[in-house]
A and B are shown apart, each in its own frame.
Chain A
Amino acid sequence: MSAEQAVQPRVGCVVETGGRIVFDLVSKSAEGRQLLLRLRPKKGQPEKVVHVLDLEPADDGGRQAVLDPNTVLVEGRWDVYLVREPEAERQRLRPGLRDLRALVDGHRRDWEAPLAVRVPYATADGYLAVRSWLRPAHAEVDGVTITDRSTTVGARLHGASLEAGAAVCLRLRSGDGLVREVEPRVEEDGRSFSFTVDHGELAGGHGVWDVFVRPAAQAPLVRVARLLDDVAGRQEVFVYPTTTVNGVGVRPCYTADNDLSVEVKKAG
């Protein structure tokens, strides 16, 4: 084993039902004072937001840091570092076991506004990060039914209620404001709803249609997405089939941020 790997400490974490995240420093040798979460800046941009958690001795002899559910993390990807000494260079942490079982059925609960979701995950290059979403309201996708002609999406609204004048809007990304609206079927609780998009309606606009719901006539748009479980990135996991209409392929899909879109492109 090389020295580099031996000194690279791992941090495990447990997400509790209430949303509290407890980080456990696995390597006993990794002394440290604080965990530092930093919002990953866009490429070429300086780092602006960091959040520091104190490491405390844990019952098992290791060290723990707690991310409280009330701590606000803005939406994005947060990289996790260890700070050994106040002025020392921070060290990026590798993931240990991530016990996320409390998140698995998150879509079955009602969430309060603003909706704060955090999912620890391993980055492609093998480091620990926390995916965070922070939204005033959120529409969680449940089942998706796809036929040759249309796609029907069942969803549930959190942090808002559907009222008269509610609409589902599909907006063509970079498509000079091209929008299709469909009327949602709303259940009695004003939270659960479904909507059907006719594939032929979208076939004219090649590109990616982002899906929103407007809960009431003048209300701001709420993104339709799937955030409430343990899957930090579902693009490659929740995969829907492509339907072909008039030589055009239509496929519901998730963005890198787990938002629902419909991709329309030339078939084949």
Chain B
Amino acid sequence: MNPAFETEALSWYEGSARQRVAALVDPGSFHEVVGPEERATSPHLALFDLPEQFDDGMIVGSATLDGAEVLVAAQEGRFMGGAVGEVHGAKLVGLLRAAKALRRDVLILFDTGGVRLQEANAGETAIAEIMRALIEARGSGSRVVGLVGGRSGCYGGGGLIAGCCSALIVTEQGRISVTGPEVIETNRGVEEFDSRDRALVWRTMGGKHRYLLGGADAFVDDGPGAFRAAVQAILAKPERLDLATLDAEQARLERRLVRFGTASDAVAVWSILGVKDAPGVPGLSTQAFHAIATCRESADDAR
């Protein structure tokens, strides 16, 4: 038996979107809608002589998680870096609208570099529609949980959508940001940000830093079991999206600017947070990291 097909042994970072979904939810419970057999492909890519994919890099459907009904969306980072195009985006909009109608919780398995450049207008519009649908679903009581641990990270419009979620779960390899390393370097120079210095990229945008800053709510190991446990813990709590929560988050972000505004590197931020051996943070195991992360900031359901 090949260990890759034993789903609990799956590396989230290395897995495909379909492998992640299958490994996360109750076995056999996933029912895809607008699946590849319907061949809802991008109407734009052919103009650029680029290959299409029958699911357009987005997999949506319903499943059960420990018996509870949930809706699931997963981006395929192996297809155009999980970039958001017209069909890709529309499938997520539809899922979020269904969540509102069905009062169902939603899991979004992010793996994206942002909007697909070849269909930029449609992609940008899709991001806006997704954010609106996401907030409306949350307003009606659905919880929307983002899972970030894929190779492409969660960048661009994906970072904006993640910012609207009820909660985010991230791994060490997971990255969350809006502007990507290469774009920063191109626009501001290598002195500002060396995109090839991977240690710099990860300590600035990676899971550990996002968790310590309150940009993510759970930090987990790179496997479906760890993600599942974190999802269940988050879904055990009620959705809170009210003015008081948002006011508190606004105050926290203002405070954050004062507290960390002069730090020029993530290591300085961790020192200010009170981590004793800040340069040693990237080397810590998950367990050791949780032990020192008690000093982290928390967004308390609103980000």
A binds B: no
